[in-house]
Chains A and B, each alone.
Chain A
Amino acid sequence: MKTLNIIASAYRATVEEQDDTIVWLTHAIKGAGADIDVLLRGNAVNYAVRGQNAEGLAFGAWTQTQPPHIEHDIASLLSKGVTVHVLADDLQRRGLEDTPLIDGVQRLPSDALAACLSGYDCVWHW
């Protein structure tokens, strides 16, 4: 069962969770043996951008020592053989078309989206 996780919601509780919950879920399912890929769309296209840094959160004497590292988590998916697509049109809408992306992330134009989806048995839109 070849599955595509489409991630649209971005930075939802990532500080609390110390990751993105669907990127994390993708890691877990991949680890269980799933044949799964990712498509980033909407605000989640920013997950593909290099140089993200969520460090520095502190409340009083409490300091977050393990902030989310979305860039690392995406790169780690790639290293496990997960194809990570990013919707090129959504990059452009956010002025990110010329921004360096994580090596290996594949830009997908919207007119190629339907053909991409047809290559999967399941499409889960988060």
Chain B
Amino acid sequence: MDSKTTLTFALMDAPYESARSTTALRLLSIAARRGYVLQVFAYEGAVMQTFALQRAHANTVHGRSAEEENHFLPKDAIAALSDEAARHGGRLDWVNCGLCVDERGAGEAIAGVRRGSPADFWKMADASHNTLVIPTRD
């Protein structure tokens, strides 16, 4: 096990569907600022969190252009979290479930994201001080 505090997270929710996704990023952010080693297994819809083709849009209801709206894109938040972890001496290892990627056509992920399987999740959990599962709920 890494001498640094190592935490594993399993995420399942797709972006823009649940506050659980934002909560997960908040938890990762705290841990990143502490310099922890962070391991994420994105399962099912969560593989879309790092989908590289996410695009910001204008919002006419808000009366704002795309630039003014500065729409939240999970892929950018995750990239920023990765940078934040590295800046504090930690790192973020993000693994997308490969079959989940395939069935969604979500192969284009941001840099640093790798493809894996549930076996990676088990190995990450086994090498962690603790593991938190944040599943999809009905």
Note whether A and B form a binding pair: yes
**Which residue numbers of A lie inside 8 Å of B, CB to CB?**
1, 3, 8-9, 12-13, 21-22, 25, 28-29, 31-34, 36, 43, 122, 124-126
B10, closest chain A residue (CB): A124
Interface of B is mostly: mixed
Known contacts A125-B135, A126-B133, A29 near B43 by CB under 8 Å: no
Given A3, A8, A25, which contacts B43 in the complex, CB threshold below 8 Å?
A: A25
Query: Which residue from chain B places its CB closest to the CB of A13 in the assembled complex?
Result: B44
Instruction: Provide the bound-state CA to CA distance between A29 and B124, in Å.
Output: 12
B138 at the interface (CB under 8 A from A): yes
Are A9's CB and B136's CB within 8 A? Answer: yes
Q: Are B117 and A28 in contact (CB under 8 A)?
A: yes
17 more contacts with CB within 8 A, not counting A9-B138, A21-B12, A25-B43, are A1-B126, A3-B125, A9-B135, A9-B136, A9-B137, A12-B136, A12-B138, A28-B117, A28-B118, A29-B122, A32-B117, A32-B118, A32-B119, A32-B123, A33-B122, A43-B138, A125-B133
Please, which residues of chain B bring their CB within 8 A of the CB of A124?
Answer: 10, 131, 133
Q: How far is the CB of B103 from chain A (nearest CB, A)?
A: 8
For the complex, is B121 an interface residue (Cβ under 8 Å from A)? yes
What is the chain A residue whose CB lies nearest that of B127?
A1
Query: Would you list which residues of chain B between 8 and 59 have a CB under 8 Å from chain A?
Result: 10, 12, 43-44
